[in-house]
Structure 1
Amino acid sequence: MSENFVVVLNSYYTLIAATVVLLVGRVLVKRIAVLAKFNIPEPVVGGLIAALLVLIFHQINGFSIQIEKGLQDGFMLMFFASIGLSADFKRLKSGGLPLVLFTSIVAGFIVVQNIVGISLASLLGLPPLTGLITGSMTLVGGHGTAAGWGQIFESDFGIQGAVVLGMACATFGLVCGGLIGGPVARRLMKKVTIPEHAQNTTESVEVGPKIVFEQPQQQRIITADSAVETLALFAICLASASFLSNFMAEHFGDSNFVIPTFVWALASGVVVRNVLTKFFKVTIFDRSVDVFGNVSLSLFLAMALLSLELWMIKDLAIPLIVILSVQAVLLVLFAVFVVFRVMGKDYDAAVLAGGFCGFGMGATPTAVANMQAVTDRFGPSHKAFLIVPMVGAFFVDIINATVLSAITSLPFLN
């Protein structure tokens, strides 16, 4: 092999490369049915192809890519801020006790998933914190959380290739969650009576200002004014996150408790959203927040995957497969014996169990897709389409970040 050949992209070329990755992914998802069936995100498809090409060239002449990290981090923070800005406390109250129960189940599963990951990683001779990468960091958190925490693991805990490993686990989880959810829900359908309202109506579920969860591809029109206002909100959240992160590093830098900057961005979004709406009667344009959040996530993932160094995890292939296979079995058992029973052992509980599989190994879009596959055949479940998107849009990321921060602060794991 010849000398390493490193291509350094400035912010302009990084953005161009990321958009090319997204366009390639979009074309492939539209033309390859299996990718659309399992809801594999466009940036993941395009990004993994780019990463594989980089791997091939690296094996030939040491080729690698360095991108503008500041731009990538900015889009990551915007994505997590969008989650916080979408968390309207008035809307969350409408979920009631079922929302609290389902959120508690997800929280319990996050803890169990990490215990299993850490235990198996230790048994297989890997650093214990590697178990978090094969746990809720990637399987519940998805690609966005995987990349965000992966950077922390590399810089603060010295786990080389954490981002690459995280992306691989998140992709496996996304596919596995899509494969498991439908069969689990359909099996549970044999144990329940499908209610009359599910058989006789196809109306969509609406919460608050006509948030139609059963139509995820619905176009969202935004205006120039709403776009400017939304960008101002994002700027406030990112400035707040930067200040709080620096403040914590300066005054509590010796503490083992790590709170990443993107968690501060999410928390800032929650505060900004609810303070403005409650005390100043400001209307937050949710459609604009969603659009900017989705765009930020897509660009962030494209950049993260574009700069993956796949050659760094080739020795972890077998341990990775073992741990993720056990996590998949755990997910099925938890969905059938915990989620279904705690949520009422009825039709809605069966649909929620299918959606839970999307949470446990995948992402909120996977959870929604799993439920749609069931309700398209058996009829709508208003409770499921009320609870799952709200938990996925807000609670799961807060809980996951809290649990991960607490575990990484344990001295015997470092």
Structure 2
Amino acid sequence: MINLNLNIVSTLILSIVLYLFGNYIKNKLDILSKICIPIPVIGGLFFSILVFILRKFGLLEITMDTSLMPYFLSAFFISIGFCINIFSAKGGGKLLFLYWLLCAFLGLCQNLIAVFASKFLHIKPLLGFMCGAVSMEGGHGYSLAFGTTIESIGVENAVAIGIAAATLGLITGGLLGGPIGKILIEKYNLKPLQRSSSSKALKNTTTVSKQVSKFTPMVFLENILMLLLIMNISFFVSTMIDLKTHILIPNIVIGMLLSVIISNINVKVNFFDFYQDLFEFIQNVALDVFLTMALMSIDLYALSSLLGPIVCIVLFQVVFVLFYGVFICFRVLGKNYDAAIMVSGLIGHTLGATPNALANMSTLANKYGKSETAFLIVPMVGAFLLDAFSMPCILFFINFLK
């Protein structure tokens, strides 16, 4: 078998090529566009399947350097923060709390489904538990962290099962979130909500500021410098908090909060020439490259050896999340356009990861219109606030089942 090692630049080139390929396929196959499948999912999954086939027949094994992924993810969340007007997210406080409660309850249900399914499938409860909120809401990070904890008490293969379940969740969350949101929007003929006059005035203020300043190299460098400074600060603060308190707060949360604060202060003070179009552009590029890179590096070969019970439990989780999102969350959140966008995001991050959620929502927003409320609430809950419930809940189940 030939071993091909791609360095950091080659991996980046490949991810861009795959994104362009995914865009080409989506333009050629109308069905993919109609059901709102994100472009990175098309290109990334195609490559991971191709690599699986090549490795299965002993032809080629590819190793990629994906160390740029955290920086693309950080740039994405910081850019989102720069484009959020905290005054324009109508009802954001109440919806934030409701969305958090809905996601927290869903995590509890995912754990219960995993435990009962493991008994039905006659596998160790703690192994089945790895297909619950650990891998669904927690993704690969939680799977590695809590899987290691479970293996330390004598349960083998917990990490592998968690990673496999998280991978399946990542794929299904990316494939289903967009189409479900599309169905809700078109079934109920939903339109982007009109904001209050005060928020419109704030938007107009920002727009005037942006039109006054030309997009020059100086403006570009000033905005990029602000982004990089926040990125660096967020990595530093996250690391220091972890070292001093052993509490892990993702750097993307710190970066997003800082950018929200700075951008909203800048509307009043105007201490730098903020250019919103640039950050909206960075959002799209960073998310597309990150998600393409994440999906193209999925090891389907390792996943194939862990099928069976894992697929069954994940299938139960997918069915429940879809039912819960469409028939409960959509109605509780207001049964409006924002609610439909948030449901597509919920499917993305409660089966896969927060970037999945944002990719689903971005695909819908590009087609039907923006939802500032959804883009404020879903990242905050999915990337950080949900941990306040999910971590204690997971630890309780581990101690109860061991």
The reply to whether TM is greater than 0.5 is: yes
Of 38, 55, 75, which residue of structure 2 is paired with 1:58?
55
Mapped to 2, the partners of 1:354 and 1:260 lie a distance apart of 27
Structure 1 contact 133–165 (Cα < 8 Å) conserved = no
Query: Residue 395 and residue 357 in structure 1: after superposition, are their counterparts in 2 closer, same or farther (change >3 A)?
Result: closer
Equivalent position of 1:266 in the other structure: 256
Query: Residue 109 and residue 77 in structure 1: after superposition, are their counterparts in 2 closer, same or farther (change >3 A)?
Result: same
Gaps in structure 1 of 5+ consecutive residues? 138-148, 199-204, 212-220, 344-348, 376-384
Q: Establish whether residue 92 from structure 1 lines up as the match of residue 82 from structure 2.
A: no
Mapped to 1, the partners of 2:262 and 2:336 lie a distance apart of 36
Query: Residue 37 and residue 99 in structure 1: after superposition, are their counterparts in 2 closer, same or farther (change >3 A)?
Result: same
Mapped to 1, the partners of 2:302 and 2:11 lie a distance apart of 22
Query: Residue 130 and residue 115 in structure 1: after superposition, are their counterparts in 2 closer, same or farther (change >3 A)?
Result: same
Equivalent position of 1:311 in the other structure: 301
RMSD of the alignment, in Å?
Answer: 3.5
* TM-score (normalised: structure 2): 0.75
Mapped to 1, the partners of 2:54 and 2:185 lie a distance apart of 43
* TM-score (normalised: structure 1): 0.73
Mapped to 1, the partners of 2:269 and 2:163 lie a distance apart of 40
AA at the equivalent of 2:291: L
Equivalent position of 1:299 in the other structure: 289
SS of the residue 1:244 aligns to: helix
TM-aligned CA deviation for residue 65 of structure 1: 2.9
Q: Which moved more, 1:401-410 or 1:304-313?
A: 401-410
AA at the equivalent of 2:230: C
Mapped to 1, the partners of 2:200 and 2:29 lie a distance apart of 32
Structure 1 contact 92–390 (Cα < 8 Å) conserved = no
Equivalent position of 2:75 in the other structure: 78
Mapped to 1, the partners of 2:201 and 2:289 lie a distance apart of 29
Structure 1 contact 185–353 (Cα < 8 Å) conserved = no
Of 332, 337, 343, which residue of structure 2 is paired with 1:357?
343
Structure 1 contact 258–409 (Cα < 8 Å) conserved = no
Mapped to 2, the partners of 1:352 and 1:47 lie a distance apart of 28
Of 315, 318, 329, which residue of structure 2 is paired with 1:321?
315
AA at the equivalent of 1:412: F
1:13-92 equivalence runs, <5 A = 13-61=10-58, 63-87=60-84, 91-92=85-86
Mapped to 2, the partners of 1:181 and 1:17 lie a distance apart of 30
Query: Residue 68 and residue 183 in structure 1: after superposition, are their counterparts in 2 closer, same or farther (change >3 A)?
Result: closer
Mapped to 1, the partners of 2:389 and 2:287 lie a distance apart of 25
Mapped to 1, the partners of 2:23 and 2:218 lie a distance apart of 29
AA at the equivalent of 1:130: C
Equivalent position of 2:132 in the other structure: 131
Equivalent position of 2:396 in the other structure: 412
Of 57, 75, 97, which residue of structure 2 is paired with 1:104?
97
Aligned-residue identity in percent: 18
Mapped to 2, the partners of 1:392 and 1:352 lie a distance apart of 6
Mapped to 1, the partners of 2:215 and 2:140 lie a distance apart of 33
AA at the equivalent of 2:376: F
TM-aligned CA deviation for residue 28 of structure 1: 0.7
AA at the equivalent of 1:249: D
AA at the equivalent of 1:177: G
TM-aligned CA deviation for residue 152 of structure 1: 5.2
Query: Residue 322 and residue 26 in structure 1: after superposition, are their counterparts in 2 closer, same or farther (change >3 A)?
Result: same
Deviation readout 1:278-331 (Å, 9 max, x if unpaired) = 555434211111111221111112222221101333312222111101111111
1:125-204 equivalence runs, <5 A = 125=118, 126-128=127-129, 130-132=131-133, 135-137=136-138, 149-151=139-141, 153-154=143-144, 157-158=147-148, 159-160=159-160, 165-184=165-184
Q: Which moved more, 1:33-42 or 1:364-373?
A: 364-373
TM-aligned CA deviation for residue 68 of structure 1: 2.2
